[in-house]
Each structure stands twice: as structure tokens, then as C-alpha cells.
Structure 1
Amino acid sequence: MASPYPEDPSLERHFKGHRDAVTCVDFSFNMKQLASGSMDSCLMVWHMKPQSRAYRFTGHKDAVTCVNFSPSGHLLASGSRDKTVRIWVPNIKGESTVFRAHTATVRSVHFCSDGQSFVTASDDKTIKVWSTHRQKFLFSLSQHINWVRCAKFSPDGRLIVSASDDKTVKLWDKTSRECVHSYCEHGGFVTYVDFHPSGTCVAAAGMDNTVKVWDVRTHRLLQHYQLHSAAVNALSFHPSGNYLVTASSDSTLKILDLMEGRLLYTLHGHQGPATTVAFSRTGEYFASGGSDEQVMVWKSNFDVIDYGEVLRVQRPPATLASSSGTLTVSILEQRLTLTEDKLKQCLENQQLIMQRTTP
């Protein structure tokens, strides 16, 4: 019988240029550029077109910890241990605007889907939201009691999720600026968090080697993966929402099939900890970075459906504005809501995989 996964992911190319550990990667929306940050204080913008020269942006006075392209791709945000955020124009000039953002290391920066604002997270225990174009501070969220490692907007921009060394994941309402819920199931520092493309659930990675997926509506734990043998440093959802890729200090990347609740692939590319990973906007590629100073670009191969087509078919006509949300949610609920039985089955599958893969 033909496998539903046509080929294993393959290493497409790798970029050398950083002089210290790579901390973060992000693709531009049009896939023409890939940005990476490093402990060497530099930001690199690599061109996906072969034989094109990379841009090296200097300006940060200490390690670059996070990077994110704006939805338009015309701007690139970076955060640093120097406590600042810089907004760059990713061209040969590399001009940037500096935001004196926090009183300690900036760990995370992420643009809202409309590009009008961005959110930052810091070791000063706060999350801050900023206006992109007016270049001003909007408001702060401060209920974490330890370093905040990561903060992300939901796809619709109405919620913010954050991960902290206080061992919690917090969900915030952007309008009321209130903490809606705290997820406290992690056994250690929470290193990374992100929203599922549907906005209905979040996945968080932890120092306790786990990945956990929660429903943001019911706040139930949907899935719990313990597949890595060291801290999970980053994760990224495939745009289809069916897959999750993780990067770990055990030096591997792992690709999880979320619909089946099982491990699909383990990728060995980095020498030493894999620190960061991100899918491209189409899901055709993903990039990873490691303490080996390497940036690697992988071709996914495992999902050949054109999800652009699927989304176009599922998108209801504009005249049904009032019911469009309901339709989308009903489709997603069919796909995503795991019953108790399904969750139990997923956990049993994982245990079997663990038994098979443990020497």
C-alpha cells in the first residue's frame, strides 16, 4: 500500500555565516528571505535564491535572541540581550529603528497578523505590546513571576499567549488586557509557545523535555508528548495544522502528526543542541538553527496537499460574514476536538512509539 507520506524530509541547503550559536529563525511570507539571529550579536538575512549574497545586520550590542518578519515582509523585528528591539528594513542598507523595550533581555518578538502592532517578552517578567508604525509603547502585561521566554499573538490578533520560567503558560485577552487562563501543567521552565493556525489551541515546549497542546476554549490538555531526551527549545505548526516540528537540546528535530498523535520523523542534522525551528508560510520548507552555528533549510516532503487550495475551497463567500466564523469553527472542531477516547488512544500510541524507539 502506498504511504501517505511520500518522502522523508530532506536537507535542502545550509547557511554558514554566524560566528556563534544560532538562536532564532524566521521565513519571510513570500519565502524569498530567511532571517536568523545569533549569540554573535548579528542578524543575517539569507536569500533563498541560490548564489545570492546574504545581508549581515549589525547594531545590537549583545546576543540576538529572537526574530520575526512582519506579515508584509517589508519589516523585520529582532530582540536582544541588550534589552532593545530593532525594526529593520530587510534590504542591502539594513536601516533600523531602535525601541528601548525592556529593563532586561528581550526573549521574544512577534508581529500581529495585521502588522500594526508587535508583542515582546522579557527577563524583566513583562510582556509589552507596541505600535509598529507610530513606534510607541501601548501597554504591558505583568502577572508572570519569572522570566518570560515567549509571547505570541493569536492568528486573529485577539489573544496573546505567553510562556515563562514560572512554569506557566498564560492566555491574555488583548482588548481587556486581562489574563484569561493560566496553564500550570509543566514540570519545568516553559521555553516556547505558539498558536495552532486555527487559533483554537496552543502548543508549549518545556525544559522538562515535553510538548503539551491545550484547547484555548475549554482549557483542556489535548495532547502530551514526551519524545525528546532533553529540553525542547522551540516548536512550529505546519500551516495545515496537522503537523508540529520541535527542536531540542538532544540535537534532534522531531515531526509530530497531530491528527494521529504520533511521532513521524526524527531528524539528525545539528551537532549539539537544536535551538530553533520554523515552518515557511506554505509549509513546503522549514528552517532550523543550532549551537553549531548552522542554519539548515529542510524540504518538508511529507505533506503534498496544496493547503492554499483547501483554504480557498473552505473559505465561505464574503456575503456570509455573520456565519463565516461559525462555519470555520465547525470545520475545525471536526478536525481538532479530541474526545477522551481519542486522547487516551494518542497517549497509548505515544507509549508504544517510546517502547519501540527506546533501545
Structure 2
Amino acid sequence: MPFEDPTLERHFKGHKDAVTCADFSPNRKQLASGSVDKSLMIWNLAPKARAFRFIGHQDVITGVQFSPFGKLVATSSKDRTVRLWTPSMKGESTVFKAHTAAVRSVAFSHDGQRLVTASDDKSVKVWSVHRQCFVYSLSQHTNWVRCARFSPDGRLIASCGDDRSVRLWDTSTKHCINCFTDYGESATFVDFNSSGTCIASSGADSTLKIWDLRTNKLIQHYQVHSARINSFSFHPSNNYLISGSSDSTVKILDLLEGRLIYTLHGHKGAVITVAFSRGGDLFASGGADSQVLMWRTNFDTKPYQDVLQQHSRRATPDPPPHLADIHPRGPHLHHSQPTTVQVSSRGQTHPLEVLSGHPSSVDSILRHIVQQLDILTQTVSVLEERLTLTEDKLKECLVHQSQILKDVRSSGERRRRTDSDEADGSPVHFTGGQPHPQL
């Protein structure tokens, strides 16, 4: 089964200004993007399906993310608010008056119960999704906070900002448990890998670094871009990472081998956002040219050992190590000969050689897996709705019970006062509307 270069699948035009953020829905049927034009676009990926434009923010949209079950879309904005949208034709939204300055990022916890936001007011805040209320704040950054993300298990939050630091927070104690200060300029983006054992962060100094959280050591350091890195995304397998930069390129890194394998030229101007789909077979990029490009990865079409042989990296490759076990082989892991893929103005990718695709049997298996995942997603969504209804009914019961207890206490107090009046032996006779004791 041959190994293929990444290919440009589709490009979406609808924004009137730079695209700042993008995210795939969990079922891979929609792609959301936010822009400097203050609008949220929901692109339906089915052929000839309509796109939805949602208007509500009063300033640049800086972040977007689907909830884990795809029922909501969260956006952050320079208008100091966060909105929760329903990604359907109605486009209803709920507004959180989140911060006292621009909100730079928003992200769901992996159970969908909470949101974390980062802001120019130097704080990171956590919010309850169902109760739609503020929970707590983390405030040790000394400058603008550019990005914040939950770990997969929800026990940690990573944040980074213009104070040139990456901070790690314990969500139970609300304390900063680690601080990485290896950047000469602003730290622009941060995220956990899917296993939660590592975090990566990028900087305005064009570097990308990966730390092992179990040892708190820097294990990989890449300097493959020639300008600021604005965004990156881990592949779900943790074997690859894509990054977008102001140098107008998207780079694909092989994290197992610790080297750059592809440079993609599709945008005219800075690449501001990149994001893998949940399955890892697609990724999106958005940039200053107002376009959203959707790419197919193609690098999961062969076992990893075959990929190594395809690129002649080793004569006899060892079994692929876990990401957390990789250590730098030099000061900068960027001495490689990557493949460059050019995209023409017509949106077509020109690979280095013509290669065949998946056999039909594999396509059939993949379609079956996608169908099963859709069923599971729908089931979880139904359970989530039932849980929300149960929570609402429980809240009503508690309010009703509280009112009953209050009435019982009031009735008891009145009874005690009446008993006290009867016990003093002085009957009360009412005349002229005023009570007087009878002599």
C-alpha cells in the first residue's frame, strides 16, 4: 500500500477578512471558522451543502472549538465575551461576559462540562457549561495570556502568554505547579498531546518545544519556520504535528523521528490557524488570505515502518518509540530534507510522484467505522440531553424542598408564639382593632 503526500481537498471562501481559528466537529461533518470580520462560519462538508454565517460578536473572533459531542460551538472574541452557539440554521447563542479585556482563546474540557478562557487581562478563567457561570480564575501571568487548554483527563490546565512563560495549573488546588520560561519572545500557543503525557508550545521566536510532564524536561525542540508560529495541532496518534506560521507555510513534523517531513504552500500571507480532525485523516488551515483550506493527510495509509523506508531514513528502523521516550539528538531537530508540496492558484496539489490510493476493502472498513462512530456520537448526545434534563428537574426539586422547609419553619415559629401567649394566663380581648389584656 503506497504512501502518499498530503493533498488539498477543498477550499472555503466566505470570510471577508483574515481567518483566525478553525475546528472540526467530532463527527467530521462540519468545520467551524472564526475571522477578523467578526463572523463565525459553519461549513457543512457534505457535497453542495449550505454554509451558515453567524453574527453576534462585536469584534474579532479569536478562538473556536466544538464541544466533545458536537452539540455546541464556543467562540472567544476581542469584544471581551465568549459565546456558545448551536451549530444549526437557527444559530442561537448564549453570551458569557467573560473578561475585562480581549479574550484570546476558548476550549472545552474533554467531558464537555467546562470551558477555559485566556485573556489580555492576564487571567485564565474556568466556566461551567451547563450552569453557564464563572467557576474560578487563575492569575499568575504578568502579561497577556494567549492560549489555555485542558489536559485530556481534566486535571491540568496549560497556559502561555506574552510574559514568555508556559504555566501548568492543577485544577483541584487552583495552584500553578510548574512554569517553563525558555522563550525569548511571547509564547503564542500551547496544547497537550492526546495521552496527556506531554505539552507543546510555540513562540513568536519561530520555535516549537515539547516537554515530558512526567520528568518536566524538554524532549524536542524544533526551529523549522522562519517567522512567528501562530498555531499547531497534534495528530490523534501523537506521531505527527502540524504548525502554521507567519512565513505563509504549514509544516508537518514527524515526532517519532524528530524531523520535518512536509512544507505546504497554500496560503498567500500568514497561516494563523491549523487543526486536525478527530480522526486525523483531515486537517484545516486558515490565514490572512481569508481562506480556509482542508487537506487530506494520507500519511496513515501505511504502517509506520513502511513510511520510514519510503523516505529512506534508516536501513533497518527500530520499533517506533512512544513520544514521551524521545529525547533530542541535537540542539535543534530540524536538519532534514522535507518534501515540499506546492498548491496552485486553482487549489490543486502537485505531489512529487503519482501514487495510487486505498484499496476498496480498506475504504469499506473505514466507512463502517465512521458509521459506528456516528451511532456512538448520537447515543452519547442523547444521554447528555437526558442528563441535562435530570439536572434541571433535580434543581427544581431542591428549590421546592427549600421552600417547603422555609414554610414549615415559619409555621413552627407562629405556633410557638401562640402557645406562649396562651401559657401566660392572660386572655386577650380585641376592641377597636387593638388588643388589650382583660382585667
TM-score in same-fold range (> 0.5): yes
Q: Could you list the per-position Cα deviations for residues 288-346 of structure 1 after superposition, in whole angstroms to 9, with x for gaps in the alignment?
A: 00000000000010122699xxxxxxxxxxxxxxxxxxxxxxxxx9512336xx4225x
Matched, 1:232 2:219: no
Partner of residue 43 from structure 1, selected from 40, 44, 52: 40
Structure 1: distance between partners of 2:29 and 2:324: 35
Question: Which residues in structure 2 correspond to 1:107-186 (within 5 Å)?
Answer: 107-186=104-183
Gaps of 5+ in 2: 305-319, 339-439
User: Alpha-carbon deviation of 1:222?
Assistant: 0.6
Q: Which residue of 2 aligns with 1:223?
A: 220
Aligned CA distance change for structure 1 residues 231 and 18 (closer, same or farther; 3 Å): same
Q: Which residue of 2 aligns with 1:241?
A: 238
Matched, 1:77 2:74: yes
Partner of residue 343 from structure 1, selected from 328, 331, 349: 328
Matched, 1:302 2:289: no
TM-score, normalising length: structure 2: 0.72
Partner AA of 2:136 in structure 1: F
Q: Which residue of 2 aligns with 1:14?
A: 11
Aligned CA distance change for structure 1 residues 343 and 114 (closer, same or farther; 3 Å): same
User: Alpha-carbon deviation of 1:272?
Assistant: 0.3
User: Alpha-carbon deviation of 1:348?
Assistant: 6.5
**Partner SS for 1:35:** strand
Q: Which residue of 2 aligns with 1:209?
A: 206
Structure 1: distance between partners of 2:333 and 2:109: 36
User: Alpha-carbon deviation of 1:242?
Assistant: 0.3
Partner of residue 187 from structure 1, selected from 184, 199, 204: 184
Structure 2: distance between partners of 1:124 and 1:304: 45
**Partner SS for 1:263:** strand
Q: Could you list the per-position Cα deviations for residues 49-87 of structure 1 after superposition, in whole angstroms to 9, with x for gaps in the alignment?
A: 010110000000011110010001000000001000000
Matched, 1:89 2:86: yes
Gaps of 5+ in 1: 308-332, 355-359
Give the greater-gyration-radius structure (CA). Answer: 2
**Partner SS for 2:334:** helix
Matched, 1:101 2:101: no
Partner AA of 2:281 in structure 1: E
Q: Could you list the per-position Cα deviations for residues 212-244 of structure 1 after superposition, in whole angstroms to 9, with x for gaps in the alignment?
A: 001112110010000000000000000000000
From the two aligned structures, give the one with the greater helix fraction: 2
Contact conserved, 2:222 with 2:333, CA < 8 A, in 1?
no
**Partner SS for 2:335:** helix
TM-score, normalising length: structure 1: 0.87
User: Alpha-carbon deviation of 1:29?
Assistant: 0.3
Question: What value does the CA root-mean-square deviation take over the aligned residues?
Answer: 1.9
Contact conserved, 2:221 with 2:328, CA < 8 A, in 1?
no
User: Alpha-carbon deviation of 1:187?
Assistant: 1.4
